[in-house]
Amino acid sequence: MKIMVVEDDPAQLKYLSEYIQSQGHEVYRVSDGEKAIEIIKENQNIDLVITDYKMKRVNGLLVLQKVKKINDKIDVIMITAYGNTEDAVFAMKKGAYDYLTKPLNFDEINLIIEKIKTKKNLEDRVESYKNTAEDNELIYKSELMKDVLEKAKISAKSNITTLVHGESGTGKEIVAEYIHKISNRAEYPMVKAFCAAIPENLIESELFGYKKGAFTGAKQEYKGKFEYANNGIILLDEITEIPQNVQVKLLRVLENKEISKVGEHKTRQLNLKIITTTNREIEKEVKNGNFREDLFYRINVFSIEIPPLRKRPKDIDVLTKYYKTKYNKKYNTEIEFSEKEMNILRNYSWPGNIRELKNLILNIIIRKDKTLLNNLSKSNIIYENINSLKLEDVERAHIIKVLKIAKNNKSKAAEMLGIHRNTLRRKIEEYSIDS
């Protein structure tokens, strides 16, 4: 994360900034509140501002108010000396995320930063879903997807635990949403837990909640996602990202539909349906010892596999038409695709599946540049010789090419591929790609 530390005491500024930087964050050191405001005006990509309350020229409260006015999405943490907690509470009412008391506690600082990081990851995903909400309808023509939808209807009629699996970008979450929409739990919420986006040290708290005083910084009781999903459906997205110590606790939830919060000894009974997704070959994860075998059998009671886009060319046609029409209308363009160009799209391997197709059509229409199809055409040469290559070889080559185009910017490359950046990082490691 990009974090600004605002403190007019040089020693405190150095002390706090160096610690935060040691935790892998990009740090802006600022010794003056007025200068901090100027920097925020120029660079609104900062994620978090940690500011002292009392400073000589411009105090932390004014910094908070100005920052929130410039960009309300920037979180602000207030630092206060002992005896000034009333000021800090007042600042929180004005929009501060939290406050720290001096002398500073590194564990508390790290916990708050990680919670903010988790919140921002989830907000990013929620915003992404908002932006693509109108895309979250099932657009298909292939028999393979008709079979998927028939299985989804079977799942929706019962409380059976369901595993939806397939490659990144195939539409696993959309199928899960469809199950919720047609189930008898549709009037209750569907709570999504994006397991890959939650830091490992916070995932248990996020899923199960915690009691007040359970650990340093637990100032009040926190309701986890399972509790929020009571009477509805919980979606555990990319469940294979959950660490093994939490996998053990999930077994009890799946067996008895009950949870216990962190720091709590009693259990709470829940009434919910559980849907999980993964883009990994889960049997291989079990064999390699990364995923518990007993947990696998409990989430795999009913399985829905979503085939990759390359295996359903009829869907490539209808999806291309859908996105082309949508974006032509949105950007006031009239771009069409010839039969030759459609053949390029049909024959491409689509490692990023529907997300990649959508992003390609969007970029072609925004840029009014169909030369972007040239890269696909070159990839088709590889794909046409697929009998002599493994799919992993094709995917590895494509990732390397996209990373080169993105100048090794992994966030940009993930966006171009239509996959989550955590998935891209894992594939880079899996395929031993130099980065």
Chain segment 241-295, per-residue pLDDT in tens: 898 889 988 988 888 889 989 998 888 899 999 999 999 899 999 998 999 999 9
Domain with 250, as residue range(s), is 136-304
Q: Hey, CA dihedral for 228, 122, 401, 344, is it positive or negative?
A: positive
In CATH, what number is assigned to the domain containing residue 272?
Answer: 3.40.50.300
Residue 129 lies in a domain: no
Question: Do residues 14 and 59 both lie within one domain?
Answer: yes
What lies within 8 Å, CB to CB, of 288 at 6+ separation is none
Question: Do residues 189 and 112 both lie within one domain?
Answer: no
| Host H or E run for residue 234 | strand 233-237
**How far is 163 from 298, CA to CA, in rounded Å?**
10
Residue 286 lies in a domain: yes
Q: How many domains does the chain have?
A: 3
Q: Does the predicted model carry a pTM greater than 0.75?
A: no
**How far is 20 from 245, CA to CA, in rounded Å?**
27
What is the CA angle 93-98-103, rounded to 5? 125
Res 435: pLDDT: 64
Q: Which of 378, 309, 386 is nearest to 350 (CA)?
A: 309
Cis check for the bond before 307: say yes or no (omega within 30 of 0): no
| Host H or E run for residue 208 | helix 203-208
pLDDT at 135 over 70: no
Question: Do residues 419 and 337 both lie within one domain?
Answer: yes
Question: Do residues 173 and 247 both lie within one domain?
Answer: yes
Question: Do residues 300 and 319 both lie within one domain?
Answer: no
Question: Do residues 285 and 320 both lie within one domain?
Answer: no
pLDDT at 383 over 60: no
Question: Do residues 112 and 151 both lie within one domain?
Answer: no
Question: Do residues 98 and 189 both lie within one domain?
Answer: no
| Cβ atoms of residues 117 and 199 within 8 Å | yes
pLDDT band at 124 (very low <50, low <70, confident <90, very high): low
- Pick from 86, 119, 152: which residue ends a domain? 119
- Pick from 91, 119, 147: which residue ends a domain? 119
Residue 126 lies in a domain: no
In CATH, what number is assigned to the domain containing residue 95?
Answer: 3.40.50.2300
Residue 238 lies in a domain: yes
- Pick from 119, 146, 180: which residue ends a domain? 119
Residue 128 lies in a domain: no
Res 60: pLDDT: 86
The pLDDT tens digits of the residues spanning 217-247 come to: 788 888 899 999 999 999 999 999 898 889 9
